[in-house]
A and B are shown apart, each in its own frame.
Chain A
């Protein structure tokens, strides 16, 4: 401890909530920057009684606190000499004399003395003082037990601990140790509360957490503040699309827009008519596209990001309007317009089964999460559930779906999601057998379910995208605008690292990309020569996006060729 006997200003007679340094800022009444020259923030002269010295350009950091957390960090890092030197040179001791004495006594296991010192610190929160006393007396109790001095231990319990009237449950536990001390030896002492080196620090931690942060500077406070700042930087980085966790403390983190796929890597030409739908497999190794030409094409995504045609699946007599990958990506379901659903083997390209219902066309399809059943929406507005061999397992009649509707099932198999009215989406809970509705003021054209099943992205007739939270409170949490939709069914999706982006097709032949949290339109990708009907972001590669267009092609988008790691260094974050 530094040898300077610095008379510390008395601790404020105000209750300080645990660990909440922020409140202290509000309570300071005299903030007088000692230095008078503009911009000079680090004053060197020691503070005079009553005036708080500030540090930093904004005048919100108190010098004393700043130095103390640095001192704490130095000690945590093991630089004891430097820590002590800092305390001496700055004249700002880490702990007040009383606290320092307390810690010393605790270290020396002098419980009686430490109790006395505890009361000298001048804490105003009585409950807190009692709780701290409890902890100290507990240690005294255990020591007595260890010495097998049962009478003294009982005495401590009765006359010192019980009168505190805190932690009554714990008191009962302690009493039980007196009754069978051997139990105590076997069970408790071996864990955190005993007397070996490990447990001593457990107790010390508890004590530190109990006392106010201003008294016992929390360990790792500086690290915590830095991590908080990094979080803020990361959240502010709208282009953040990488797993790269290299945050430097030297410059503010800011990704360049070149982290988002924006460059056409490939144009896939296989379909003979408009491509209406496409989707990557769960493992990101395949892409399937559905077209008005009645076929579905399965593409393989190679290591080099090259996408090659694997199979063309023929059989439908109508345009194929949707595709769903089986949970293990080994099979595909495709649905023809008001026709049948076909199940295919991805590896061989064979059609394994055709699902149909006499007299009723099918309009959507989905897999059950266990891969053992399929769900399909019908033209007559019902939803049917089949096993793989085509046996009908269940059928929900009534207005469950519309002539044009998407179909989704949550990964736990509990909820089936379908557009049931012009402006409403049905969330059908299979188990609880109840239904919830998402209602919009506009006509709903399509929707997309997030990977975590907690959000639904809804496309509306008036060209707006609404992001709904469907877990717990059902409500809209974001809007996205900018793309064009006047006649067609245009789809949008989630994507990128942690699904931080929203992408959509558009009738103006471009792909639109927004930042999910802020709703900000980030990029529009031009290239297609026809309306972009559907987009899919590779779930395993945040840098790969695919789009399907009326121009009969599919484009694979990737990062710009000049792929720099994207740090626009702006030093102290002035954007």
Chain B
């Protein structure tokens, strides 16, 4: 499988990395909210993520309303790690624009801890904050 010489940056501090290949994705300091949810369980909103490629934009109805989002993938192994908010159609959701959500199930925490998919995962889908 052709790969090329992947370009990735190294972060410093308390790092969240891709569960499969350990590529650095985000810093704990950049967590904006831990109250997000996805199909597989918890998710965190980060103000900045690195070493991801962005998929195609699409309109998605989230728990808090309609948003234009794009899935994000680890630049090295290509596995999906979350999504990024392109546009929020409601004024009170605008703060999410430009920020990204990482699914806790897809990333390893700073202490190397992993998170296992909860069986009581929200059936309703993704997003939230306003809890």
Residues of chain A whose beta carbon lies under 8 Å from any beta carbon of chain B:
274, 276, 292, 319, 321, 402-404, 422, 443, 445, 461, 486-489, 507, 530-531, 533, 550-551
Residue from the list B6, B10, B53, B75 in contact with A402, Cβ < 8 A = B10
Residue from the list A274, A321, A404, A531 in contact with B8, Cβ < 8 A = A404
Interface size class of B (residues with CB under 8 A): 10 to 19
Given A486-B53, A487-B53, A487-B75, verify A403-B5 contact (CB < 8 Å): no
Whether A531 contacts B2 by the Cβ 8 Å rule is yes
Over the window 5-29 of chain B, the binary record of Cβ atoms lying under 8 Å from chain A Cβ atoms (1 yes, 0 no) is 1111110000000000000000000
Task: Give 15 A-B pairs besides A404-B8, A487-B53, A531-B4 with Cβ atoms closer than 8 angstroms.
Answer: A274-B3, A274-B4, A274-B5, A276-B5, A321-B5, A404-B7, A422-B9, A443-B9, A486-B53, A487-B4, A487-B6, A487-B7, A531-B2, A533-B4, A550-B2
- Interchain pairs with CB closer than 8 A, number: 45
In the docked arrangement, what's the CA distance between A319 and B5, Å? Answer: 10
In the docked arrangement, what's the CA distance between A406 and B75, Å? Answer: 20
Closest to B50 in A: A443
> Closest CB of chain B to A333's CB: distance in Å?
18
In the docked arrangement, what's the CA distance between A486 and B8, Å? Answer: 11
Whether B10 contacts A403 by the Cβ 8 Å rule is yes
| A486 neighbours in B (Cβ, 8 Å) | 53
| A488 neighbours in B (Cβ, 8 Å) | 4-7
In the docked arrangement, what's the CA distance between A8 and B5, Å? Answer: 76
Over the window 40-68 of chain B, the binary record of Cβ atoms lying under 8 Å from chain A Cβ atoms (1 yes, 0 no) is 00000000000001000000000000000
Q: List 24 A-B contacts (CB under 8 A).
A: A274-B2, A274-B4, A274-B5, A276-B5, A292-B5, A321-B5, A402-B9, A402-B10, A404-B7, A445-B7, A461-B7, A487-B6, A488-B4, A488-B5, A488-B6, A489-B7, A507-B4, A530-B2, A530-B4, A531-B4, A533-B5, A550-B2, A550-B3, A550-B4
> Closest CB of chain A to B90's CB: distance in Å?
29
In the docked arrangement, what's the CA distance between A523 and B42, Å? Answer: 49
> Closest CB of chain A to B108's CB: distance in Å?
19
In the docked arrangement, what's the CA distance between A486 and B5, Å? Answer: 11
Closest to B8 in A: A404
> Closest CB of chain B to A123's CB: distance in Å?
68
| B4 neighbours in A (Cβ, 8 Å) | 274, 276, 487-489, 507, 530-531, 533, 550
In the docked arrangement, what's the CA distance between A487 and B6, Å? Answer: 6
| B8 neighbours in A (Cβ, 8 Å) | 404
In the docked arrangement, what's the CA distance between A507 and B7, Å? Answer: 12
Over the window 82-122 of chain B, the binary record of Cβ atoms lying under 8 Å from chain A Cβ atoms (1 yes, 0 no) is 00000000000000000000000000000000000000000
For the complex of A and B, list the 10 residue pairs with the smallest distance between their C-beta atoms, beginning with the closest. Answer: A488-B4, A489-B7, A550-B2, A489-B5, A276-B5, A403-B10, A531-B4, A550-B4, A445-B7, A487-B75
Closest to B4 in A: A488
In the docked arrangement, what's the CA distance between A215 and B5, Å? Answer: 68
In the docked arrangement, what's the CA distance between A489 and B8, Å? Answer: 9
In the docked arrangement, what's the CA distance between A507 and B6, Å? Answer: 11
Whether A551 contacts B2 by the Cβ 8 Å rule is yes
Closest to A443 in B: B9
In the docked arrangement, what's the CA distance between A276 and B3, Å? Answer: 11
> Closest CB of chain A to B97's CB: distance in Å?
18
> Closest CB of chain B to A439's CB: distance in Å?
16
| B53 neighbours in A (Cβ, 8 Å) | 486-487
| B3 neighbours in A (Cβ, 8 Å) | 274, 550
> Closest CB of chain A to B4's CB: distance in Å?
4
| B6 neighbours in A (Cβ, 8 Å) | 487-489
Most buried by B among A319, A487, A531: A487
Closest to B51 in A: A487
> Closest CB of chain B to A375's CB: distance in Å?
21
> Closest CB of chain A to B37's CB: distance in Å?
29
In the docked arrangement, what's the CA distance between A419 and B5, Å? Answer: 17
